[in-house]
Amino acid sequence: MAELKLKQIKKTYDEGPTVIHGVDLDIRDGEFMVFVGPSGCGKSTMMRMIAGLEDISAGEVWIGDTLANDVPPAKRGVAMVFQSYALYPHMTVRENMAFGLKLAGKSKKDIDDAVTRASDILQIGHLLERKPKALSGGQRQRVAIGRAIVRKPDVFLFDEPLSNLDAALRVQMRIELTRLHQDLGSTMIYVTHDQVEAMTMGDRIAVFNAGRIEQVGTPLALYQHPANLFVAGFLGSPKMNFLPVSASIFGHSTSIRLPGGELLTLPGARAEGELTLGIRAEHLRFAEHGVPVMVELVEHLGDVQIVYARAAGQNEPLAVKLGSDSPAPASGSRAWLAIDTAQCHLFGPDGQAIRRTEH
């Protein structure tokens, strides 16, 4: 087990752009850290640099007390699970899991013990003599994790390990991975573009965008207090609604004018000018009066309903989350939305969140 420190990490390709722009991050010993972000945001590259599969253009990677920049991958005490599983197709499951230990010169007994222990944890004992092509996707995934476990790494690296699985299996493996983390207590770094995985699995989440970390924090902190427009829009489903507003300070509150001319008072906020109002779908509700909207679509998801309603002059419809038993207006009807002002977020012209004092 080990903590991991990233100091001003940069990655620039020879004839290409800079893909990581100075990332700083401390990952605590035993922590489950999730790197989340859209495709091409640099999260996988960051992980590959930690693994030693990519050179680090600038900055320092500390694993435990060791500066790992020039340490070869196998000596860093990391194990990696790949999105494609990357099982050696010509080797049996047992050989796949034993390969790393064999290269490390471990005795046959040690190898057998380690493979048995890992296959017990993952319940793949009956698959040990099979080749990868005779396994299902979920089984391959387990073997890939087993191959990581046998090496008893200080840090586990997971690169989108569940994205090739079907939805049901993904949920199951998500739970198993979380349990595995609790059992092993190892430091784990998990890359995903799936915000549900990020929210449910991570002790903390680092949201990546365009080669930078936008915000680091616990899932709930990120959800409730996004630092900027990107994080606010990325986490949460349906995504946060945004409205352009003009604000003026009014005593200890801010008065904001919605695009349709309606006025709202936000206690605890002090900002003025052209801003963006952010409001999550669950903080909007239909009322007798408020923001007039035209209902476009109602999605019934079983436990909840998502109503998409467009305010006058807006391109994007607003998403409203209702309980399954709440009455929802019919598509095509007119309705009024009430906004829970205590739960609103304000973002400045630079996209950064404007802090609200407790109210």
> Whole-number minimum distance, CB 74 to another protein, in Å?
3
The number of beta carbons lying within 10 Å of the beta carbon of residue 160 is 20
Asked if residues 340 and 282 have their Cβ atoms less than 8 Å apart, the reply is no
Looking at beta carbons only, is 189 or 322 nearer to another protein?
A: 189
Dihedral pair phi/psi, residue 197, rounded to 5° = -60, -45
Choose between 103 and 301: whose C-beta lies nearer to another protein: 103
Give the shortest CB-90-to-another protein separation in angstroms.
4
> Which of 17, 89 has the CB closer to another protein?
89
Residues near another protein, by CB under 8 A: 48, 51-53, 72-75, 78-80, 82-84, 86-90, 99-100, 103-104, 147, 151
Q: Rounded to the nearest whole angstrom, what is the least distance from the CB of residue 161 to another protein in the complex? A: 12
* Gap between the Cα atoms of 34 and 213, Å rounded: 12
- Nearest distance in Å: CB 95, another protein: 10
- Of 62 and 82, which has the nearer Cβ to another protein? 82
Evaluate whether 310 touches 325 at the Cβ level (below 8 Å). Answer: no
Shortest Å, Cβ 124 to another protein? 17
Nearer to another protein, 88 or 224 (CB): 88
